[in-house]
Amino acid sequence: MNIQRALTIAGSAARGGAGIQADLKTFQEFDVFGTTAVTAIVARNPRTGQGIFPQSWDAIEAQLVTIEDDIGVDALKTGMLFTKDIIEHVSDWIKQTTIQNIVVDPVMIGKMGSALLKEDAMDAMKNDLIPLATIITPNMPEASYLLDGMELNSVDDLKEAARRLIELGPKFVLVKGGRLEGPAIDVLYDGKQFYLLKAPRINTINTNGAGCSYSAAITAGLAKGHTVQDAVIEAKKFITAAIRHSLMFKAGVGPTYHAAYGKYDETGCTVTIEQV
């Protein structure tokens, strides 16, 4: 049996809704074989306080080499890398591989309030990692940070942000408009053409891991040989269904439900694609 392989290089989220846990659940739902390189362990709670425990590069490299040598990679995504050192090392490792499908989710702030990227790591993110990307998937605050505080208040602002971000070197930019009012609109840009992806907005606060899962779904699509546009469209349907059926547990922002698409929500959503 042949199965495509997707790698996530990201943090481990103890709550299970984000990070590599969300990525693996997403990969499974898309029928790709998931592998992980853990960059940090994240466990934030009132009793022990905010806890982020970065892994050494030796530990991360050991995971990556094992995956490359024993399993192989059809597509990879990066999530929480946290430090300048990890970003630089991961970028160097990617350059030494032949992996063609690279999704960079520039994770900076978690929904539980954790700072997931150190301040001195921004230049490494911009100059070392993003230029390697097939696609980057910032949400509005992340796009603003990458663009030195640019204000984003409208779809036109998202388009302008995408224009500026493509200059950093990725092949595609997906700016997610989850914080705008009205329909959930994301802007996909390839340097020439804009695509507006519109889906119904779900009235819930339980969106922990939505960004991780969205980018993981794109990664899975690329691993299976889909075009970037098709991978993004399918991922948008997947994450809309996951948010519509999101979960609420004992405390905090609840997670999206990865099993919803195609099982409890057959259509996922109607995504309107508008080329502009």
Q: Mean pLDDT throughout 115-126? A: 79
The confidence score (pLDDT) of residue 91 equals 97
Is the pLDDT reported for residue 125 higher than 70? Answer: yes
Q: What global pTM score does this model have? A: 0.94
| Contact (Cβ atoms closer than 8 angstroms) between residue 233 and residue 268 | no
| Contact (Cβ atoms closer than 8 angstroms) between residue 194 and residue 162 | yes
| Contact (Cβ atoms closer than 8 angstroms) between residue 265 and residue 241 | yes
The confidence score (pLDDT) of residue 47 equals 81
Tens-digit pLDDT profile for residues 168-224:
999 999 999 878 888 889 999 999 999 999 998 888 999 888 999 999 999 999 999
Tens-digit pLDDT profile for residues 215-260:
999 999 999 999 999 999 999 999 999 999 888 888 888 889 998 8
Does residue 30 sit in helix, strand or coil? coil
Tens-digit pLDDT profile for residues 68-109:
999 999 999 999 998 999 999 999 999 999 999 999 999 876
> Which residues lie below 8 Å from residue 35, measured CB to CB, with a gap of 6+?
5, 6, 7, 8, 67, 71, 73
First to last CA, the chain: 41
Average pLDDT of the chain to the nearest whole number: 90
For 186, list phi and psi in degrees, rounded to 5. -115, 150
The confidence score (pLDDT) of residue 262 equals 75
Confidence of residue 122 (pLDDT cuts 50, 70, 90): confident
Tens-digit pLDDT profile for residues 33-59:
999 999 999 887 778 876 889 999 999
| Among candidate residues 84, 81, 73, the one with its CA nearest the CA of residue 106 | 81
The confidence score (pLDDT) of residue 113 equals 47
Domains of the chain: 5-275 (3.40.1190.20)
